[in-house]
Structure 1
Amino acid sequence: MPGIDECLLEAMLLPGALGAGVADWTSGLALGAIGQSPGGDHEATAAETAELARTAAEHPGFGVPAGTGAEDRPVAEPPVEDLIITTRTAYHVLCFVDTAFDSSVFLHLWLDREEGNLALARLRLRDLAERLVL
């Protein structure tokens, strides 16, 4: 079971990976980062991506429909699994991490659009999120 540093190192092994981070979506705090940062500052990137993650996690339109077990879901668990933001040159994949405690953590992968494989990155990031130990 990898910790934050090991998780980020594994994320950077993905083809086209430019940078990766783990952040808290309620506070915008960077818990770890590696590689490049889109704006050149990992702390600022964590705060900015946390805004996107928080908006998606708290938006009622992204909730799970009634009758699908949503009633049993803990309040802290966001109904969104991940977010994919596409730019002309890159992909940003934000993957929410489910934990045994009241978690608001997500993984952020910055992926070169020409060299990366979005489907592979999404699957591997989901696997890393499931194995991540905080």
Structure 2
Amino acid sequence: MANTETALKEAMTSIEGAIGVALVDYNSGMALGTLGGGKELDLNVAAAGNTDVMRAKVRAMEMLNIQESIEDILITLGSQYHLMRPLTGRSGKGLFLYLALDRKRANLAMARHRLRAVEESLEV
């Protein structure tokens, strides 16, 4: 089992095209850990903003009485992919991984696969 810092490093090094990654508490909108980002992407701002996306999807599923869990949420931009993956373990309730990818360098299917592996190995 990996701690937050190790898991974020694994995401940045094992996922081709990774720009930045964060572990986010979607109750508060705070990033509990970040790696990457920089001038082109403020991960703390992204964490707060994408918390609204996660909350909205959870609310919509509740209103629709959908009893399934969210595997991941994908936002496609002209030059980037943004992935959000809720943590499924009991200790990760209310947390999600946020990953930004350079669309030209990333393989979306592999990124989703690797992010799932990172999420499964993460112990909070």
2:108 counterpart of 1:118? yes
The partner residue of 2:66 within 63, 67, 91 is: 63
Q: How do 1:54-133 residues align onto structure 2 when only pairs under 5 Å count?
A: 54-60=55-61, 61=64, 63-64=66-67, 79-101=69-91, 103-133=93-123
RMSD over aligned Cα atoms: 1.8
Q: Scaled by the length of structure 1, what TM-score is found?
A: 0.82
Unaligned runs of 5+ in 2: none
What is the rounded CA distance, in whole Å, between the counterparts of 1:63 and 1:55 in structure 2? 14
- Contact 1:62/1:80 (<8 A) preserved: no
Q: Which residue of 1 aligns with 2:27?
A: 26
Point out which structure has higher relative CO (alpha carbons under 8 A, 6+ apart).
2
Query: What is the aligned-residue identity percentage?
Result: 34
What is the rounded CA distance, in whole Å, between the counterparts of 1:52 and 1:95 in structure 2? 12
Residues 20-29 or 101-110, more deviating: 101-110
**Residue 94 (structure 1) shift:** 0.4
What is the rounded CA distance, in whole Å, between the counterparts of 2:29 and 2:74 in structure 1? 18
Q: Scaled by the length of structure 2, what TM-score is found?
A: 0.89
**Residue 101 (structure 1) shift:** 4.0
Q: 1:40 to 1:89 in 2, by over 3 A?
A: closer
Higher-Rg member (1/2): 1
**Residue 42 (structure 1) shift:** 2.4
**Residue 131 (structure 1) shift:** 1.3
What secondary structure is seen at the aligned counterpart in 2 of 1:59? helix
Larger proportion of helix: 2
Q: Which residue of 2 aligns with 1:9?
A: 9
Amino acid at match of 1:3: N
